[in-house]
A and B are shown apart, each in its own frame.
Chain A
Amino acid sequence: MQDPAAAACTRISSLVLTLTEEPALRALTLKELARIPGLELEERGGPWVAAVLDSADPEAVIDGFGRLPGIRFVEVIFVEVTEPRLLETPNH
């Protein structure tokens, strides 16, 4: 599914992640998140973590969050659409 042109540039997204408040699982989740390239985290209190993602395919990374049981909710609050790539007519 990956659009080949998409790999050519990265885009910045701003996220709010709602994590579990169960301490062990939360710590494990933060450790897993820290391994994701292009993802910067900032804990601000409560169950929430502010995150900035710089990735060529942010949707895939965000989809991948669903595999981490310690993440309860993901909100995307900012997205960069720099260098909007042109697209063919969709199969019309």
Chain B
Amino acid sequence: MERRLFLKTTALAAATAVIAQRLAANEGGAAPAGVPAGAPAPSRPEAGPDGIRWDKAPCRFCGTGCTVRVGVKDGRVVAIQGDQLADVNKGLLCMKGYHVGGILYGRDRLTTPQLRRNGKLEDISWEEAIDVIARRIMRNPAGFGFYGSGQWTIPEGYAAQKLMKAGLSNNHIEPNARLCMASAVTGYLSVYGVDEPAGCYEDLDAADVIILWGNNPAEMHPVLFSRIVDRRTRGQKVTIIDLGTRRTRSTEYADHYIEFRPQSDLAIANGIAHLLLAKGTWDRDFVAKHCNFRKDTAPVSLNGQAMTFDEYKAALAEYTPEKVSAISGVSVEKLHLLAELFGRRDLRITSLWCMGMNQHTRGTAINRLVHGVHLLSGHWGRPGDAPTSLTGQPSACGTAREVGTMCHFLPGGRLVAKPEHRRDCEQLWNLPEGRINPKPGHHTVELWTRFCTPTGKGGDIDTILVQVTNPGQTMPNLGKTFNAKKGLEDKFLIVSDVYPSATTALADLVLPAALWVEKNGVYGNSERRTQQWFKQVQPPGQARNDVWMTLAIARRLYELGHPGMKDRDGRFLFSFNDAHGHEVPVWDWEHFEDINTDRALFEEYRRFTFMKHKNVAPYDELARVRGLRWPVVEQADGSFRETPFRFMEFSDPYVRKGAGIQFYHSVTNDDRALIWFNPYEAAPEEPDTEYPFWLCTGRVIEHWHTGTMTMRVPQLRNSMPNAYVELHPEDAAAAGIRPGDTVVVETRRGKLELPVWIDGRGRPPRGSLFVPFFDQNFLVNQLTLEAHCPISKQPDYKKCAARISRRGAVAQTRTEART
């Protein structure tokens, strides 16, 4: 068949299949269902009559975890299709997703290792590059930091984790996920004693009310949002409440837009709890069976201290609707509306949040409070009743959280600070006792601050290896936490990436990396779903897998005599055998693919997942399906059963029979979750007469994070070619600013010239500015504040004080801004 005709036929079939699925769902009166997650995927695909071979892969971008079908011909990705066998996206993709294949083919792909000599990057061999890194680590193993991301595949993150904690006895490993979901982690840990959402995407199909807490899923998680909007199209009633500090595309679909003053979400959550108690509409039975109460200690800590119900009620007494309204700007009527919804047991309510709650100096506290409102009102434990955080990266859950690539974690939810946890991991890794360092490493802001501080002045980190992330664009207050590296001769920055970036601009050694389907991989999405894919095309030039780089560095350290590269029996830490029992030198690129190294690492890692009931499925099972949600438990017949809803007896096999709901990792060891009281506190930097605006930063639908990949896709780049500043039209008029003008946005940390966009994508309220961070030419993080949550250590990118002026004009004062 002529190729284009075939493609058209395929395209039409894809669209009609989606419609047929919906029509069938309408007839059955049920939500559209994809093929069950356990349904088999085709075995490794063959090319069709047009020469295109289709295979599955999770999308490379956000944490939704859509499965795409990747069409490959003549060694290149030539087409992308939403996978109708995938329960997550049921054949749909967002605009980034359907262009995901294009990220492989930017002309400036990095293809050769490069070492900076006399200020210039010069090509070197891989052998030299690996040797340079290993010798740099040998100089000062304790001064080495490894900085990765929630885009690390699970095997990549696991290998990095093992190199650092099992090999170098060094806990200075962090993922950029510290910047995006650390507060969600500490929220889950302090409420349930274990991380990650209990619910799943089916909650979106069952909820009567969806509350967006500072969240804009229409742009950030569009496939999930379309799942909600689609229900309306099918005649179902679903109420969307947008609780936000800026009107967004999500607002357009909301039944109620409730705008609040930045930082005051804590007061709102406390106000809802206050009203539930005052009206007597809280769920006494649920609380009596399943909850304890908790408050902060001084100084604050993850698990706080117990409080009684009466103390909890007394603490909330001051959060009257009138007081909360004065703090937040939300009307008393709207506060009553929220409390009345939570007070109704006939409704099912799902709360969604992402960066708005997590990037917050009170991030842990607001996470706890939203969980608390659900627990107090009994909106917990039924499909559609769920407090659920969404993640921004494809494996923030799978790699950063589950593998535990943070400075205080070990795999399997273990902690470096606990002797019994270190012992468990030392046994699984076959290490000599005492190998794992008991002291947590530096968290992200601290790691980079110390790297950017002269060694003689406390800058104890002298070398950092960066993989799959771009801290030169994403760190808050870049002048202090990244750019200050300039001129520090004894600091050495190694960056593995696919394109030149703000980070490679300061790198001393650049490593070209394989990307997405140029390598095998496993990700874990926002709903605990582990997703596997196979390599489908070759990486360009000398680009190589990040996991190979880690193994090669470890091997070179072994050759140079680092004692930590051997286990208790003297074997190399990353020793893998083939089917005949012979060791395969996977550190040698020529032999890296002699076995499936990803599979070997994943199966080794999998043993840790049983430690805290986060059992992931075997690699071969994951290769067969479109992902499975943990805990995945093997059945008597040898099949594997996933767990959509955790802690709920109807779904979770670890819940005791007859318990109904059991929080089996309870902080208080009594199977109960914790309802916290945390007070509202003002933001550390608020608008004043000198800097009269709030500055909020964020994302746009066209670009993924720093734009390193999506700015190389012409369609996405043309749709949103550059960053901008949004402000309210009245603020613009007061300052004589017109759309398209260039203005100077300034904070106490720096200034930036930006074009103005008024009433474009979003609309901030008066006194607020919004700037997206995707554009390397407008590094808004030169302006942001590195202040962070004292528990999660996650910085607040959503609030700092700023001022604006027309280019060449005097900065605008509060009086001018308000008139």
Question: A residues touching B (Cβ–Cβ < 8 Å)?
Answer: 1-3, 5-6, 12-16, 18, 40, 42, 44-48, 50-52, 54, 58-59, 72-73, 75-82, 84-92
B7 interface neighbour in A51, A59, A80, Cβ under 8 Å: A80
Task: List B residues 713-758 near A (Cβ within 8 Å).
Answer: 713-715, 717-719, 721
C-alpha gap A90/B106 in the complex (Å): 10
Minimum CB–CB distance from A73 to chain B (whole Å) comes to 7
Pairs across A and B, CB under 8 Å, 16 listed: A6-B714, A14-B15, A40-B12, A47-B233, A50-B16, A50-B18, A52-B8, A52-B12, A59-B715, A76-B95, A77-B15, A81-B79, A81-B80, A81-B101, A84-B104, A90-B776
A87 touches B11 (CB 8 A): no
List A contacts of B99 (CB < 8 A): 79, 81
B95 touches A90 (CB 8 A): no
B78 touches A45 (CB 8 A): no
Interface centre among A5, A15, A18, by most chain B C-beta atoms within 10 angstroms, is: A18
Q: Counting CB contacts under 8 A, is B19 at the interface?
A: yes
C-alpha gap A42/B106 in the complex (Å): 35
A40 interface neighbour in B8, B76, B81, Cβ under 8 Å: B8
Q: Counting CB contacts under 8 A, is B486 at the interface?
A: no
C-alpha gap A40/B715 in the complex (Å): 22
Across the interface, name the chain A residue whose C-beta is closest to B98. A79
Question: B residues touching A (Cβ–Cβ < 8 Å)?
Answer: 4, 7-8, 10-12, 14-16, 18-20, 22-23, 26, 76-82, 91-95, 98-99, 101-102, 104-108, 226, 229-230, 233, 499-500, 505, 707, 711-715, 717-719, 721, 776-777
C-alpha gap A62/B620 in the complex (Å): 40
Known interface pairs A3-B718, A12-B8. Does A46 touch B19 (Cβ–Cβ under 8 Å)?
yes
Known interface pairs A46-B22, A59-B719. Does A73 touch B233 (Cβ–Cβ under 8 Å)?
yes
C-alpha gap A63/B453 in the complex (Å): 49
A15 interface neighbour in B7, B15, B104, Cβ under 8 Å: B15
Known interface pairs A44-B16, A78-B10. Does A3 touch B714 (Cβ–Cβ under 8 Å)?
yes
List A contacts of B500 (CB < 8 A): 89, 92
C-alpha gap A59/B516 in the complex (Å): 24
Minimum CB–CB distance from B508 to chain A (whole Å) comes to 18
Secondary structure at the B interface, as helix, strand, loop or mixed, is: helix
B229 touches A73 (CB 8 A): yes
List A contacts of B7 (CB < 8 A): 12, 80
Minimum CB–CB distance from B703 to chain A (whole Å) comes to 11
A52 touches B26 (CB 8 A): no
Minimum CB–CB distance from B53 to chain A (whole Å) comes to 14
List B contacts of A42 (CB < 8 A): 12, 15-16
List B contacts of A45 (CB < 8 A): 19, 23
List B contacts of A52 (CB < 8 A): 8, 11-12, 15
List A contacts of B11 (CB < 8 A): 12-14, 52, 78, 80
C-alpha gap A48/B477 in the complex (Å): 48
3 nearest A-B residue pairs (beta carbon): A14-B11, A50-B15, A79-B98
A14 touches B12 (CB 8 A): yes
B718 touches A90 (CB 8 A): no
List B contacts of A89 (CB < 8 A): 106-108, 499-500
Across the interface, name the chain A residue whose C-beta is closest to B20. A44
List B contacts of A78 (CB < 8 A): 10-11, 14-15, 79-82, 98
C-alpha gap A86/B713 in the complex (Å): 9
C-alpha gap A48/B22 in the complex (Å): 9
B12 touches A87 (CB 8 A): no
List B contacts of A91 (CB < 8 A): 776-777
A81 touches B77 (CB 8 A): yes
Known interface pairs A44-B19, A87-B712, A89-B500. Does A77 touch B233 (Cβ–Cβ under 8 Å)?
no
List A contacts of B499 (CB < 8 A): 89
List B contacts of A92 (CB < 8 A): 500, 505, 776-777
Minimum CB–CB distance from A6 to chain B (whole Å) comes to 6
A50 interface neighbour in B12, B93, B98, Cβ under 8 Å: B12
List A contacts of B229 (CB < 8 A): 73
Minimum CB–CB distance from B164 to chain A (whole Å) comes to 31
Known: A81-B78, A81-B80, A90-B712. 15 other contacts (CB 8 A): A2-B718, A12-B8, A14-B11, A16-B15, A16-B19, A40-B8, A42-B12, A45-B23, A46-B26, A58-B715, A73-B233, A78-B82, A79-B80, A79-B93, A89-B108
Across the interface, name the chain B residue whose C-beta is closest to A80. B79
List A contacts of B721 (CB < 8 A): 1
List A contacts of B10 (CB < 8 A): 14, 78
